């Protein structure tokens, strides 16, 4: 059973799709996909069998029903089955197609050829079991925020003479490495990418190679901000952090320690109703929320030091 996975299938109303995705990710699913089935959405999630027992899956069904009741929608239906690892690998990939994000990015699955006549920055991606395909609203918001932040690099980081100063970024909770790759493509000199999940770190290494990025440009490591403190030589210029709101709040004091007076940061993985709690924690430690971008029930905070 070591190489078997749970395949969870949830049939729900279209308005519940993002809520179901969030619930599956919070539950620990390593990959998710969705497709239209008549008037409903069929959302699939995958996680190793050792992470959940049948009783855990039954509890997940209760949470999904409670989520629907809270917004006055009909209850989703949840079913599950065991599949082999090879079947898992192919089950969700068939639904994933190239996707344009923001003004500059194209996310292209590594197993598909590049579309012709591309005038965008292409991120070739095979997330494996790590979070971050570009399909989720929080990842999209982060990439669009990086566009905004790094598009001003030539003007804001001009040093003496004509040479531009380097921009060093910390990616906390790097997942597949999609944000780290995107930052380098936008001109960041270096990204330190950390995640507490060793499979995510492995995925970041793989996607760094897929995009022909020099190892010195993206430095993945297992851990959190405590590991970053050991890796970085001085406070970073920018921070991206796409994880859960509660974890962000806990990490704010440590994140502040690796910043300087000019550091900016992008925080996402935050439900809209959680934004005030995150903003309060940031402001308590000397950060100012410059903008809050929303997509459906998710939001992204673009902040700077006060």
Q: 138-180, pLDDT tens digit by residue? A: 899 999 999 999 975 543 333 333 344 689 999 999 988 999 9
The domains located in the chain, with CATH, are: 4-94 (3.30.70.260), 126-305 (3.40.50.150)
pLDDT tens by residue, 121-139: 999 998 665 566 777 888 9
Q: What is the mean pLDDT of residues 227-248?
A: 94
Task: Work out the pLDDT band at 250, boundaries 50, 70, 90.
Answer: very high
> What is the chain's mean pLDDT, rounded?
87
Among 147-151, 229-233, 275-279, 282-286, the least confident range? 147-151
Mind listing the pLDDT tens digit for each residue in 11-52?
999 989 888 988 998 888 877 878 888 889 999 888 888 888
DSSP symbols for the chain: -TTEEEEEEEEE-GGGHHHHHHHHHHHT-SEEEEEEETTEEEEEEEEEGGG--HHHHHHHHHHHHHHHHHTT-PPPEEEEEEEEHHHHHHHTGGG---EEETTTEEEEETTSPPPSS--SEEEEE--TTSS--S-SHHHHHHHHHHHHHHHTHHHHTB-STTPBPP-EEEEES-TTSHHHHHHHHTT-SEEEEEES-HHHHHHHHHHHHHTT--TTTEEEEES-HHHHHHH-SS--SEEEEES-HHHHHHHHHHHHHT--TT-EEEEEEEEGGGHHHHHHHHHHTTEEEEEEEEETTEEEEEEEE-
- What span, in angstroms and rounded, lies between the C-alpha atoms of 84 and 27? 20
């Amino acid at each position: 059973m070591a190489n078997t996975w749970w395949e969870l299938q949830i049939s729900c109303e279209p308005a519940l799709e993002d809520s179901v995705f969030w619930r599956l990710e919070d539950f620990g699913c390593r990959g998710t996909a969705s497709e239209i089935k008549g008037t409903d959405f069929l959302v699939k999630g995958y996680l190793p069998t050792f992470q959940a027992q049948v009783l855990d899956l039954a509890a997940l069904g209760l949470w999904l029903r409670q989520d629907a009741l809270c917004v006055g929608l009909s209850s989703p239906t949840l079913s599950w089955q065991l599949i082999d690892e090879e079947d898992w690998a192919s089950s969700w990939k068939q639904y994933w197609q190239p996707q344009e994000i923001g003004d500059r990015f194209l996310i292209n699955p590594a197993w598909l050829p590049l579309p012709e006549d591309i005038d965008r920055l292409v991120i070739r991606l095979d997330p494996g079991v790590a979070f971050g395909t570009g399909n989720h609203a929080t990842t999209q918001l982060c990439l669009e925020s990086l566009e905004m932040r790094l598009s001003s690099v030539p003007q804001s980081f001009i040093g003496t003479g004509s040479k531009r100063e380097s921009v060093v970024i910390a990616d906390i909770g790097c997942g597949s490495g999609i944000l780290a790759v995107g930052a380098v493509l936008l001109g960041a000199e270096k990204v330190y990418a950390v995640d507490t999940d060793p499979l995510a770190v492995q995925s970041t290494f793989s996607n760094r190679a897929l995009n022909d990025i020099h190892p010195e440009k993206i430095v993945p490591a297992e851990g959190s901000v405590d590991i970053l403190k050991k890796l970085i030589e001085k406070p970073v210029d920018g921070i991206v952090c796409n994880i859960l709101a509660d974890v962000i709040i806990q990490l704010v004091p440590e994140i502040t320690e690796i910043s300087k007076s000019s550091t900016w940061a992008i925080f996402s993985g935050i439900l809209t109703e959680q934004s005030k709690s995150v903003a309060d924690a940031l402001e308590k430690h000397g950060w100012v929320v410059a903008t809050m971008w929303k997509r459906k029930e998710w939001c992204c905070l673009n902040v700077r030091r006060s």
